[in-house]
Amino acid sequence: MIDKTLNLYEANSFYVLHMVFGRKGTAEKLEVVPKYYFEETHPEWKESEMFKYLSWTQFQNLLARTDLIKPKGELIDPPPSIGFVTNQTNWVSTGYKKAILTVGYLATPDQDENSPAEIKWFRAEFGKKLRKQNSAVKPNTKALDGLFKNKKSAPQD
C-alpha cells in the first residue's frame, strides 16, 4: 500500500489501484487510474511527458488482478459497439453480475480501427442495484498485498 488514507496501491510506475469502501467495509469501487489524479495529496505525482497509457495487455493483466480482489461475476450486458466520447476519452460500460465495468479508452482524431487500444483508466463499481441475490462480498485484502505490492509485480511493456 502506498497511501493508507486514500486506499492506494501501486499498479505500475504511472498508475494506482484506488479502492473505495462502504460503511460495512465492503469494496464499492475498484479503479485503476493515473497517479496524477492524486497530485493534490501527492505533489510528486505530477503528470509527466513520459506518461504512458495502459496497453491492452497491461489492462487485461490489471483487470484480472482486480478480479482476484473482488470478482465482477459473469458477463450479463456486453459493451456497446460505440461509446460516449468526452475529453479524448471513449467511455464504455459493460455489465457483469456483480459490477459495472467502465473503461476509458484514449480517443483521438488520428486513430483508426487498426490503432492499438490505449486505456486511460478503468473502474468496477459494485452496488445493490447490481447484486440482486448476492450478499455483499468483502474484498480479499490479503490478495492486495501480493498483487499491488510494489513495482516489481506491475505489468511492463
pLDDT digits (tens, 9 = 90+) for 58-96: 999 999 999 999 999 999 988 887 778 888 999 999 999
86 burial type by CB count under 10 A (0-12 exposed, 13-18 middle, 19+ buried): exposed
Q: Per-domain residue ranges for the chain?
A: 8-151
Q: Nearest to residue 70, comparing CAs of 6, 7, 120? A: 7
pLDDT digits (tens, 9 = 90+) for 113-122: 788 889 999 9
Which percentage of the chain shows pLDDT scores above 70?
Answer: 81
